Structure formats: C-alpha cells, structure tokens
Structure 1
Amino acid sequence: MGKITSHITNDPSVAAKAAAFIELLKPRLSFLVAFSSGFGYILASSGQLNWGNLLLLSLGGMLVSGASVSINQIIEVEYDALMNRTKNRPLPTGRITEKEAIIFSFLVAVLGLYILYLSTNPLTVALSFVSLLLYSFVYTPMKRVGPIAVFIGAIPGALPPLLGWVAATGVISFEAMIIFGIQFIWQFPHFWAIAWVGDEDYKKAGFKLLPNNGRKDLNTAINIMIYTLFLLPLGLLPTYFGVTGLNSAVIVTVCGCAFLAQTFSLMRDNTDKSALKIMFGSFLYLPIVQIAYMLDKI
C-alpha cells in the first residue's frame, strides 16, 4: 500500500495537475485578499484578537477569492488565449479542462463560504458571496463593454478589509466604510496603470479598461492623478476618527505623496515606463499603509 501511495504522489502528471489547479486560484492575489481581510479584522478587534478566527477568516477569504478568479478564467478562456500575459494559464494551455475548472471552482467557493460561516457571521458570508458574484459575473463580462468595469470591479476589490471588520464586529460601521473607501479609490490608479501598460495586449481580447475612450494620453493621466490625490485626505480619516494614531497618519501621508509624485511623470511624458512605475507604486502603497495602520492599532 505504501509503495502504491508513493508511486501516485511521485507521478509527474498528478503533480502537474495539482500545480495547475493551484495556479488557477492565483495564490498571490488570493493571499493579498486574505491579508486585507486580516487587516480589517485586526483593526476592528481592539485588543480582543481571536487568532483562530483570524486564520479561518483568512483561509475562507483566500478560497472565495480563488474561486472568483477561477470563474473569471473560465469565462475568459478564449480571450486569455489571445493575450501574451495570459496565454500560458492552465485553461488556454489545456492543462485543466473547462469541466474540471467549473467543478473545482464550485467546490472551492462552497468550502470558502462554509469556513466563513463557521468562523464569522451571516453578514460576512453574505457579503463574501456578493463579492464573488460581482467579480465573476458582472465585472468579468463588463471588461469588454467599457471602463465602467473598473468601477464595478473596484467594489469586490475593496470589500476584503470591510469583510474583516464585519467579521470582527458583525456590523458595517462608518469605520468599515472608511477602510473600504481607501481600498476602493486606490484601485483606480492601480487598474488604470495596469491597463495602460498592457493596453496592446488587452486590445487583442477587446477589453476596454482605460478611461477617456481608452486613449493613453494626458486626460487619462490626469484621471489617474486625481484618484491618487483623493488618497491623501482619505488616508487621514482613520486617524481623524480615532481608529488609528498619529504615527500611521505620517506614514500614510508620505506614501500618498510619493505615490502622487509618480503620476506627474505620466502626465508629463505619457509613457509606458511612467505607467509601470505607478503600477509598482500601487503594489507598494496598499500593504505599507495597511501595515502602518495595524502597527499603530496594536
């Protein structure tokens, strides 16, 4: 029996299939969702931190997020095959069949929601389910309609910290809406910078994510700058309302100014290089800000 088990475990086809299923979940993105959920939970806990519930919340959030992006890839498989950045994903390459992906996504979603049901409260589960539906079945098809998709996608994208807060408190308070609002506004420069850099690839699939009729010009750069500018006052609201302290306010302001400064380069030269800097800046901004808030709270 031991030899049979060992043989199955070492079978390269089994290992490759397992790796493909994990890849389908986009673990790095799902981890960021879990991190943001944990951030909201810690911020709301006020010293009454339940580590078991925090771990289960993070796991459940990762699974629901993984199911959402898996469904996204099922719906967009023919478009993913057209783009350089996505053509090597498990579905376009045939490493996973569409039927396998559907069953897998369903099971992962059910497991994630069940874990949240056991460890949080009905409101958290309901909001998580709404997030999955919005991302998979509204945002995904709207990407080929127009830049309104970015607004729609920013809603489920901003829900993780709010979900963490609701998991800890059971209510959607104005503090929860503040941390939701910060992540909501952050997504516009984040998504638009990605769309600017990948514009040629996105056009192959018919995705329309950039504002200003999809043009990579000064007006689009100004849009990116304005939303980044909004992060400065928004970032101070947790301190103003006593959710966090002065130390995080200083860090958030410095990060916001550095992030904003990157948008001026894009307004000046309208180049992919400047957009790429904004994209990487957005990847740094959110976790640094959230860690600053958590450390200030703890």
Structure 2
Amino acid sequence: MQALGTTSISMISRAKSFYELLKFRLSFLVAFSCGFGYLLGNTGTVDWAHFLWLVLGGFLISGTSIVINQITEKEYDKLMTRTQNRPLPTGRLSVNEARQFAVLTGLLGFGILVWQTNMLTVVLSFVSMILYSFVYTPLKRVGPIAVFVGAIPGALPPLLGWVAATGSITYEAMIIFGIQFIWQFPHFWAIAWVADEDYKRAGFKLLPSGGKQDLNTAINIMIYTLFLLPLGLLPTYFGLVGITSGVIVTICGVLFLAQTFSLMKDYSRRSALKIMFGSFIYLPIVQIAYLLDKV
C-alpha cells in the first residue's frame, strides 16, 4: 500500500513537471490572442466548437515551441535564478522526455488545426513555431535582433485566428498583427531590463542601444510604446470596431506610455517592472475592448 502511495505521488510530481514545461500562463495568452483574432474576424454566427478547437490547437503549438525553447536553453537556464528551478535544469525531467512531450503536443496541435482550420492557418502556425524555436531562441545570445525576430511569432496568434475564421490575410488582419508586433518591443525590453543580471549570466543580449540600462534604451521603449497610440486607432478608423473601443485603447495607450517616462527619469528596476506589468495588462484589455465594440 505504501509503495502504491509513493508511485501515485511520483506520477503526480511528473505530471506537474510536464505541466510546468508548457508554461501554462504564456501558452494561454497565446491561445487567447488566437481566439481574439478568430472572433474579430468572424462575420456570422460563431461556431463555438470550432473556436474551442482552434484555441486548443494554438495552445498546444505554443506549448510545443516553449518546450523546444527550454530544451535548447537547458544549460543557460541553470545559470539564471529565474529559470534554474525549471524541470530540465533540475533534472526532474530528462531532455529525451521533453523531446517526446514536444513531439506529442506538436502532433496534437497541428492535427487539430489540420482538422478544424485551413492550410494557410496551419502553414503560418508552423512558420511561427520555427521562428520562435529555431531562430529567435539562438539569436538571444547574438544581439537585440532577436527581439525583432521574436516579435513576429509573438504577433502571429491574432492573425492566425483571423485567417482561421476568414481563410485569408486581409488588411484588418495585418492591423491586429501590427498592434501586437509593436507591443512586443516594450514588453520584451522591460522584461530584459528587469532580468538583466540573469540574462547577462546566460549571455543573452536583448536590450537595444548597446544593451545598457540607460536613457537610450528607455527612449527606445518609449518610442515603441508611443507607436501604439496611432496603431490602436486603426481598427476604429477602418470601421472594424466602434469609437468606444478607440477611446478605451487610447486611454490605455496613454497610461502605458506614461510609465515609460519614469524609466527615462530614474532607469530603475522598479520602473521597468511597472512597464512589464503594464504590458501584460494593456494587451488583453485592448483586445477585449475591440471584441465588445466590434461593428
């Protein structure tokens, strides 16, 4: 009986480790953005079963990319305080187990998309996974060009959702892609600022302007945040959504931008943290506002 109990605890522990590999919150945010694009692009009655399959497929493919990222960066994760307790650096899971898990989640994710969506959605999802796992990840040790490359798969989920709903890439799809693409820069750089010591230990070079926590980097963050103000109004301008969401998005953009001025003033980790958390709040509020105000 005791052996059975020990086995059950071990199985639960391993299941928890596989769950950690998926980085649920990040994968959920990707799936949420994918669902947002689908609902915004849908013009008829929403097929909720189709919607849920799309979200699940997006979640699994995002999880696959994240697992591959952790396999590639296992030795670097050991060097960083924020990642050294992940399943691979601690040895709770082996690299081979993680590879098998990535194959399983990837096959399930792509299988769902092939079954429930269209070939363009599947191809774009594959491109997103390749860019994130095999281009962005190694570029993190090369220089800040990694942020530009990483912003592409980071911004593809809403476009994928739109394509799943409409079957084509339209200018509206490119607008919602553009908003999330530009958002990636203050988001990435705020995280890189907060985790600067950890990233340096691992050899990651993500901050712009020579990789320093200085005024030039803070100005870069401010400029990209500023771009979100006109971009956020494009869905209203083109009649995709109403004026109410335009007002909400502008207010959110101004508040987000205001946080960057503190960083330009004191270059502190605290100010960078505010921008980081502000970026997490900005995107879902904007997307929900668009959906509620869809014309």
Aligned counterpart for 1:260 among listed residues 244, 257, 261: 257
Corresponding residue number in structure 1 for 2:80: 83
Report the counterpart of residue 220 of structure 1 in structure 2.
217
- Alignment correspondent of 2:47: 50
From 119, 124, 128, give the equivalent of 1:122. Answer: 119
Letter in 1 for 2:102: S
Which of residues 237, 246, 249 is equivalent to 2:246?
249
Percent identical pairs in the alignment equals: 71
SS of corresponding position for 2:87:
coil
The answer to whether structure 1 residue 36 and structure 2 residue 29 are counterparts is no
- Partners of 1:91 and 1:157 in 2: CA distance: 24
1:111 aligns to 2:79 (yes or no):
no
Task: Within 5 Å, give how 1:64-213 maps onto structure 2.
Answer: 64-213=61-210
Secondary structure, aligned partner of 1:11: helix
What letter matches 2:204 in structure 1?
Answer: F
Deviations 1:135-158 (A, max 9, x none): 000000000000000000000000
Q: Distance in 2 between matches of 1:208 and 1:122?
A: 36
1-side partners of 2:265 and 2:14: how far apart?
A: 47
Shift of 1:8: 7.9
Secondary structure of 2:283's aligned partner: helix
Query: How many residue pairs end up in the alignment?
Result: 293
State the distance in 2 between where 1:119 and 1:53 align. Answer: 7
Residue 23 of structure 2 corresponds to which residue in structure 1? 26
TM-score relative to the length of structure 2: 0.98
Q: CA deviation at 1:10?
A: 6.7
Mapped contact 1:117–1:125 kept (Cα < 8 A): yes
Amino acid corresponding to residue 15 of structure 2 in structure 1: A
Task: Name segments (4+ residues, structure 1) moved above 4 Å.
Answer: 7-10
Among 264, 268, 272, the residue aligned to 1:271? 268
Alignment gaps of 5+ in structure 2: none
* In structure 1, C-alpha distance between the alignment counterparts of 2:223 and 2:292, rounded to whole Å: 28
| Contact kept? 1:222, 1:267, Cα under 8 Å | yes
Aligned-CA RMSD value: 1.2
1:59 matched residue in structure 2: 56
* 3-state SS in 1 of match to 2:293: helix
Distance 1:51 1:18 in 2: 29
TM-score, scaled relative to structure 1: 0.97
Instruction: Please give the secondary structure, in 1, of the residue aligned with 2:85.
Output: coil
Structure 1 residue ranges without an equivalent (≥5): none
